[in-house]
Structure 1
Amino acid sequence: MKWTEISIATTHEATEAVANIFHDLGASGVVIEDPELINSYRRSGTWDYCELPEQEDVETVVVKAYLPVDEELEEKLRCFERRVNELAQHNLDKGRGTIAYKEIQEEDWATSWKEYFHPVKIGERIVIKPSWESYQPLPEELVIELDPGMAFGTGTHHTTMLCCRALEEVVIPGQVIFDVGTGSGILAVAAAKLGAATVRAVDLDSVAVRVAKENVVMNHVEDCVEVREGDLLTGFSGQADVVVANIIADVIIRLLPDIPGRLREGGAFIGSGIISERLPDVTAVLREQGLSVEKVMEEGGWVAIIARKGGA
C-alpha cells in the first residue's frame, strides 16, 4: 500500500490544533518533531549516544501524519491546507506553515522500524517485544508481541507508557474494558493480558484496525478482544469497568460527555495523549461530567489522568 507523508512546519502553540486536524482527516497518529524536546533529551543524559546535533531553531515544530493514497486523498489535502490557514481565526499562529508531501511504501516504513525497535519494559510488568526479536521474560512480566505496521504505535511513547502503567493500577481480572483510539492495539492487548474478560477496541483508521486485529491474534487474546472501526464510542453498547483513551486533549474533551453513561459505578476513565499545558482544560471537563480525578501522571511533557465515576 502507498501512503502520503504530510508534514508542516508550525509553532508550539499550533501543534495540538494541527494534530487535531490530522485526526479529523483520519490519521490514527502524528509524529511531532519538537526541537526543544530533542535538546532536553540531549542534556538529560537519557540517551547514551545521539547523532542529532543541538537544535538551534527551537521555535519551529514539525508535525507529520500519514494518509493512504486513495480516491479521498486529494480532497483531504485541500481540506488540510484550508484548515491550517483558518488557524488565525482562532488566534493561533501557524508560524512558517510550510506544508510538504512525500509518497512512501508501507513496506519501506515497516522495515525501517526494525533497526530501532527493541524489547522495552514500559510498566511494572508490561514488556513490549517486536515480533522479529526474541526475549526471555521474568516470571512476573507480561510480554506484548508487536508488529507496528502503519498504525504508528510501538508502545515507547510517553503517552502509551503512562496508559499501560495506569491500566496496571486499575484493571481487575474479569472486567470489561473499552479502548478508544486503539492504534496498534497495544492497550487492548495489555488489558487482556492483565486479566480483562472482555476488551472492545475501536479506531477511526481502517489500517489501524487491521494492524490491531493482527496484533491481537499474534498475542493470542482474540478470545476476549474485539477490534472494530468507528468514531469514539459510536456503536458501543453497555457499560465498561474501564474506558481508556490515548488520543489528544481536544478529542478527549469531545469524548467526555459520553463517558458517564458508558462507565459502571466506580469505574475508571484513563485519558492520555494530553500535553501538560492542557491538563486544566481536561480536568475541568472531567469534573463537569461528575468524574473525580484520582491520579495524574506526568512524563516528558505529557500527562495521563485516572478519574472515577462516583469517586470521592
Structure 2
Amino acid sequence: MNKWQEITVTTTEEAAEAVANLFYELGAAGVVIQDPKVLARYIAEANWDAYELPAELTEAENVVIKGYLPMDDALEERLKQFSSRLQSLEKYFTQYLAEVSLAEIAEEDWSSSWKTYYKPEKIGARVVVVPSWEEYHPAANEVVVKLDPGMAFGTGNHPTTAMSIQLMEKYLRPESVVFDVGTGSGVLAIAAAKLGAVGVLALDVDPLAVQIAQQNIVENQVAGVAEARYNDLLAGIQGKSDFIVANIIADVILDLISQAKSHLVKDGCFLVSGIIKDRWPEVERALTEAGFQIVEHREHNEWVAAISRKAGD
C-alpha cells in the first residue's frame, strides 16, 4: 500500500491562495482548502449541502490547507523546497501565518477520508446523484448525475436541492432552455441537461463554483448542452429561457424576480428554493405581485421550494 505525506498549513485568508499554489508547484497529488468563511457562507446560504461537517471546520479562525506528496526518495528534497518557499512568502503579507504539521497517510485513507459523507442517493423519481468516485449501475429510466463537490459544494441531498430536483422532474419539459442561477456544484444544471433540456446556462458569482460546476458538466458529458459562467444573477444575460431555477436564499430571490420575469418566455417556469419557511410568505407575495402564478410549493423541515409560472407577456 502506498503512503502519502500529508502537509497541513494553517494560514490567513489573505495568504491562502499563495500557499495552495506552492503545493500545486510541487506537484502535490491533491490539495484540500478548508476556509471557514467559505464553508459557513455556503451553509448559511443553503448553496452547499454539507451541513454534517464538524464545527471545528466552520468555526476555525484561519484557513487550513492540506497537500499530499508521495513518500518516495524525492520527498525530503521536496519538503525542503516547500519549507523554503513557504518562508519566502512572509515578505508579501503584513500578517503572515504559516503553521505546519506533517502526518503519514495511507492511500486508502487519503482518498476516502472526507468522502465518507457522500454516497449514491436517489433524489427524485428518476435522478440519482452519484459522487464521481463511486461506481453505480442505474436501473431502467434512472438519470445519473456524477458529481465531485470539491470542498465547498455538496452532492444534492440537502432538502433545498432535493426538492428542486423533484420539481424539475415534474415540470421541466423536454427541449427547454434552462438558466440555473447560483449553480454551486452544477447539480441542478446537469440534472436539467439529463432530463432533456437543449440548453443550460449555469451561473454563479463565485469563481470556485463556476470552476467546479464546469468540471462536473464535463464529467457528465453534457458540455454540448450545459455551460457554467461567472455572472451576477441574470444581469447582462441575453435571450430568454423556458425554465429558470434558483436554489439560493430569500433575499437574493427577491432581487431576482424581476430579472426572471424578463428572461422567461410566456408560461415559462420559475423554480425557487433555499427559502426558510418564515420567509416564504414574503417571497410568495413578491412572485404574485410580479405576475407569477404559484403552481406548487413544497416544504421539508424548515425549507420551502416552489414552482411558479409566468403569466402574460
With normalisation by structure 2, the TM-score equals 0.70
Higher mean C-alpha deviation, range 150-159 or range 216-225: 150-159
Task: Supply the RMSD in Å over aligned alpha carbons.
Answer: 3.0
The reply on whether 1:241 has 2:242 as its aligned counterpart is: yes
AA in 2 matched with 1:102: N
CA distance in 1, matches of 2:272, 2:38: 26
1:5 corresponds in structure 2 to: 36
- The structure-2 alpha-carbon separation of the partners of 1:7 and 1:174, relative to structure 1 and needing over 3 Å to count, comes to closer
Q: What residue number does 1:191 align with?
A: 192
**Deviations for 1:285-312, whole angstroms, at most 9, x for unmatched residues?**
101111011100111211101000018x
One-letter amino acid matched to 1:241: D
What is aligned with 1:158?
159
Q: Which residue of structure 1 aligns with residue 12 of structure 2?
A: none
Structure 2: distance between partners of 1:110 and 1:259: 41
Partner in structure 2 of residue 201 of structure 1: 202
Distance 1:106 1:254 in 2: 38
Counterpart residue number, 1:170: 171
Task: Give the AA of the match of 2:127.
Answer: I
Q: Does 1:232 align with 2:233?
A: yes
SS for the counterpart of 1:243 is strand
1:153: Cα distance to partner? 2.1
| Overall identity of the aligned pairs, in % | 44
Question: Which residue identity does 1:293 align to in structure 2?
Answer: I
Letter matched to residue 169 of structure 1: K
The question of whether the paired residues in 1 share the 8 Å contact of 2:38 and 2:152 is answered with no
Write out per-residue CA displacement over residues 172-212 of structure 1, whole angstroms, 9 at most, x where no aligned residue: 11110000000000000000000000000101111110110
TM-score by structure 1 length? Answer: 0.70
Which consecutive unaligned segments of at least 5 residues does structure 2 have? 1-19, 21-32, 69-109
In structure 2, the partner of 1:297 is 298
Task: Please tell me whether residue 138 in structure 1 is matched to residue 139 in structure 2.
Answer: yes
Classify the secondary structure of the residue corresponding to 1:104: strand
**1:148-179 alpha-carbon deviations (Å, 9 max, x no partner):** 01331210100000000111011111110000
- 1:105 corresponds in structure 2 to 65
Amino acid across the alignment from 1:127 = V
1:135 CA drift (Å): 1.1
Question: 2: distance between equivalents of 1:110 and 1:103?
Answer: 21
What is the DSSP-based 3-state SS (H/G/I as helix, E as strand, rest coil) of the residue aligned with 1:208?
helix
Q: Is the 8 A contact 2:185 2:213 kept in 1?
A: yes
Is the radius of gyration larger for structure 1 or structure 2? Answer: 2
CA distance in 1, matches of 2:293, 2:56: 33
Match of 1:125 in 2: 126
SS at match of 2:212: helix
Corresponding residue for residue 278 of structure 2: 277
The answer (yes or no) to whether the contact 1:128–1:145 under 8 Å persists in 2 is: yes
Sort the Cα spacing of 1:230 and 1:140 in 2 relative to 1 into closer, same or farther, 3 A.
Answer: same
**One-letter amino acid matched to 2:249:** I
**Could you tell me which residue of structure 2 aligns to residue 69 of structure 1?**
none
Q: Tell me the number of residue pairs that the alignment of Structure 1 and Structure 2 aligns.
A: 240
| Contact map agreement 1:6 1:64 (CA 8 A) in 2 | no
Inter-CA distance 133–107: structure 2 relative to 1 (3 Å threshold): farther
What whole-Å deviation, never above 9, does each CA across 1:22-65 have from its counterpart, x for those lacking one?
Answer: 76xxx96486679xxxxxxxxxxxxxxxxx9xxxxxxxxx8986
SS of 1:6's equivalent in the other structure is helix
| Deviation, structure 1 residue 112 | 4.0
Q: Secondary structure at the match of 2:256?
A: helix
